[in-house]
Amino acid sequence: MPKSRVVFVCSGCGQESPKWQGKCPGCGEWNSLFEQTIAAVKATSLRRASTNAPQALSEVASTGHERIPLSMGEVSRVLGGGLVPGSLTLFGGEPGIGKSTLLLQVAAQTAESLKSPVLYVSGEETRPQIKIRAKRIGLRGEGLYLLNETDLDQIMAEMDKLSPALVVIDSIQTIYTNDIEMAPGGVSQVRECAARLVTWAKASQTPVLIAGHVTKDGAIAGPRLLEHIVDTVLYLEGEPFSSYRILRSVKNRYGSVNEVGIFEMKEDGLRQVDNPSEVFLSRDRQNTVGSAVVPVLEGSRPLLVEIQALTNMTSFGQPRRTANGLDFGRLLIITAVLSRRAYLKLGTQDVIASATGGLHVAEPAADLAAALAIASSYKNAPVDPQLVAIGEVGLSGEIRNVPQIERRLAEADRLGFRKALVPANARVKPPSTDFKLIPVRDIRQALREGLTAADQEEPEVETGQGLF
């Protein structure tokens, strides 16, 4: 007769150990091992007659498993074109960011568009509470069925009875199974519940959306294995004092992981932003010092982002470098290049650079815009408001080419910009007849062309070790 056994499981990585240790042997985290009793499983339950047989790839039918379109185009974009039947998608995000609201909107709109039942399982809110939220955001909820349950066996029984077109579970940390002697939200509970939901989704060819809590470090709570079990992982991000939300894919077995969706949180729920580029641009950019615009690519979508910078005489011996929404390492490189190659005396200046709108810009194509913004603030010379800057800044001061410049220029032309600084070796054509391309070879030429009131005389070269 099999017996239950006691193991110690790491709350960070999920690794099991036969005895307690102060430091996890897997991830190295201290004081993360917790005692857990694993119930015995009968050997007969593990042996199941398999009806599957190997099948040639050329004989596998691909019809009947098309993606399920969603009314919210931004969610469909991030998913790669819609929900894949039989897929398990994990939504993560900080508390209060709007995960439950977005999932409720997706569930209600899917039920209305497909004319099929959709099951919304909530382990955190009662049905009247969900009704109040649905009424506030203007959802009628026809075809949307609510279930307040945390026992996974009961939930799967109701799923089999209803045969829904979509299942939403909010959240995975509140669901438990009696086969695991551990509180809901524990490592083994989360892992086992997710594995069973995956099995059910694949067998029934029904997409399942689950919400996941995040830890103080921003990672989804539970073992890292949870993200490996699911098919797609989406994060809903946003600044604490901003109404805009960014839905980003960090894992997608059926599409690109570089796509983002832009939403705005309003009284009636999350609403799609039709023109995302306007979110990241200020309305009045005339004679603005320390600001430059760059077209960046988020997946297949070009977005115009405003890069702002501020330089100020340092009050301490060591100048500070601060990056918000930009890669800190890239900021250090750009500042060093401006000091060494463009002869800007930044060795005694604090440099603060930021990408507006809450978007994190990591691609090197934004280097030239960041350099223009820093030089504009240092020289107190505004950047041409009709200008966008595209290019990577090399260590020797050269402006290097970046991919898909044509798509970036087309977005800039659509929003009314008429000039663009581009790398000299980029073989591109202007998107329209009244759009002017300004090829630049190095950072000094870029500053001369991009700053409207810059001092054209070469400043005195700084000597000594205080350049950076």
- What pLDDT, in 10s, does the model give residues 60-104? 876 656 888 888 889 998 998 899 999 999 998 888 888 999 999
Of 34-43, 295-304, 399-408, the least confident: 34-43
Q: Is 163 annotated as a binding residue?
A: no
Does residue 100 have a known ligand-binding role? yes
CA 108 – CA 122 distance, rounded (Å)? 14
Both tokens of 9, joined, read 């499981």
pLDDT tens-digit series, residues 373-411: 999 999 999 998 899 999 999 999 999 999 999 999 999
- Determine if residue 172 is labeled as part of a ligand binding site: no
Q: Is the dihedral of CA 205, 210, 215, 217 positive or negative?
A: positive
Amino acid 372 reads L
User: pLDDT band at 260, cuts 50/70/90?
Assistant: confident
Q: How many CB atoms lie within 10 A of CB 382?
A: 21
State both tokens at 98.
């709007």
Question: Is 376 marked as binding a ligand?
Answer: no
Say if residue 97 carries a ligand binding annotation: yes
Using 50, 70 and 90 to split pLDDT, how confident is the model at 461? very low
Please tell me which residue, 278 or 468, carries the higher pLDDT value.
278
Residue 116 annotated as part of some ligand binding site: no
